[in-house]
Amino acid sequence: MATDRRNDSGLVRPMFEASEQRLGRRIKRVLADTGFAQVDDITALSSRLEAPVGVYIHPPKDRTDVKPETLLVRQRQREKESQTIKDWRQRMTTNETEAIMKKRGRIERVNANFKNRGFGILLVRGLAKVQAIALWHAIAHNLASALRLRAMAASAA
């Protein structure tokens, strides 16, 4: 959905819930960009009572060009984090997670195609118009993908 927010931080939970509702089934894993979720979102999704969700969102990279005092403050803050967040941070360093995160490359191609087709800068005003253009781009992408897959299937036969 289109939004007038400046960034998408904290939008993973509403997107996740809307996706589950549209699909009519539980989703087992979330794979998203850094910054799309806040710590509260990761905690809520990872510790759902009905069905915990595997959250695969890289934590922001730690800057190393900061004062030692800042590093100590960061370390103290991390010590106070919940066990769920500590487990998530640990899981995000494994080889298995890296293999899962490589799947994000599939969607990055879609994002690049959207920008190449003029979706980077919108010349309309209002959320309804932005939403309409986003849906048109999605339909165009799906049709182009269907045509490409149909051509591949025909050439393989």
Q: Does residue 52 sit in helix, strand or coil?
A: coil
**How wide is the angle at C-alpha 10 spanned by C-alphas 7 and 16, nearest 5°?**
115
Long-range contacts at 1-8 (CB < 8 A, ≥ 24 apart): 1/131, 2/127, 2/128, 2/130, 2/131, 2/134, 3/127, 4/127, 7/35, 8/33, 8/35, 8/36
**pLDDT given for residue 3 in this prediction:** 82
Per-block average pLDDT, block size 10, for the chain (157 residues)?
Answer: 81 89 90 84 83 83 83 89 89 89 80 80 88 90 93 91
Element at 113 (helix H, strand E): helix 104-114
Domain boundaries, the chain: 1-102, 104-157
